[in-house]
Structure 1
Amino acid sequence: PGYELMEIADRMVVLFHIEGKYYCLDDVCTHDGGPLSDGCLDGKSIVCPRHGAKFDICSGKALTMPATEDTLSHEVKIEGGEVFVRLRD
């Protein structure tokens, strides 16, 4: 359980493993570009370390101010015990 910062196709993303499921978000707070990977988990959300904006790990939805825009979430699949991420634009 936890999360890991990864680079996929020149893009920084955070892969989360929570309650047996995997989720992936861009490693960027939409408020000021802060790195979500430096934040702390709060259940199924991540809190940006800069100003405390909170994002839903499952959807990327911005849950609290000062963020007003969602961050991108990416599709995660498990095949043959390996984790695959499909990036969204």
Structure 2
Amino acid sequence: MRYYSLEKLINLYDGYRKVFKIDSDELMLLQIDGQRYLIESNCPHRAWPLTASDVQGSELVCPKHHYRFDIRSGQLRHASEEPCRDLRCYELIYRDNELGVMLGD
């Protein structure tokens, strides 16, 4: 596992969304109501970008086919077409004044 720095804490605010490409992974860091989440940046259904997704309560809604995922666990809550796998969520690592993630083997 290797640590990757993502963002300084001072730069985060409610509504923050940014995609990070790390090797073959594309991750989206977002902050909603003071809570920070790190998820895969594309919907697992048809790989639609989640940068324009809506968050309703604890659910993230894909803008293309309206699939709903629990933003905390990634669990699929509603499929409008065929089922798909859960959304991948990653644990954020707090180091000094920044956020990062451990990725790798």
Scaled by the length of structure 2, the TM-score of the pair is: 0.71
Query: 1:77 aligned to 2:101?
Result: no
CA deviation profile, 1:5-25 (whole Å, cap 9, x unmatched): 222234211112123332111
How far apart are residue 74 of structure 1 and its match?
0.7
Please give the alpha-carbon distance, in whole angstroms, between the structure 2 residues aligned to 1:84 and 1:56.
21
Number of aligned pairs?
89
How far 1:88 sits from its partner (Å)?
A: 7.0
Aligned 8 A contact 1:18 1:44 in 2: no
TM-score w.r.t. length of structure 1: 0.81
> Is 1:19 paired with 2:65?
no
* Bigger relative CO (Cα 8 Å, ≥ 6 apart): 2
Paired residues for 1:1-89 under 5 Å: 1-2=14-15, 3-66=17-80, 67-87=83-103
Over 3 Å counting, the alpha-carbon distance change for 1:88 and 1:30 in structure 2 is farther
- Name the % identity: 29
Contact 1:75 1:87 survives alignment (8 Å): no
SS in 2 for 1:63: strand
Structure 2 unmatched ranges of 5 or more: 1-13
Which blocks of at least 5 consecutive residues in structure 1 are unaligned?
none
State the superposition RMSD in angstroms: 2.0
Letter in 2 for 1:80: D
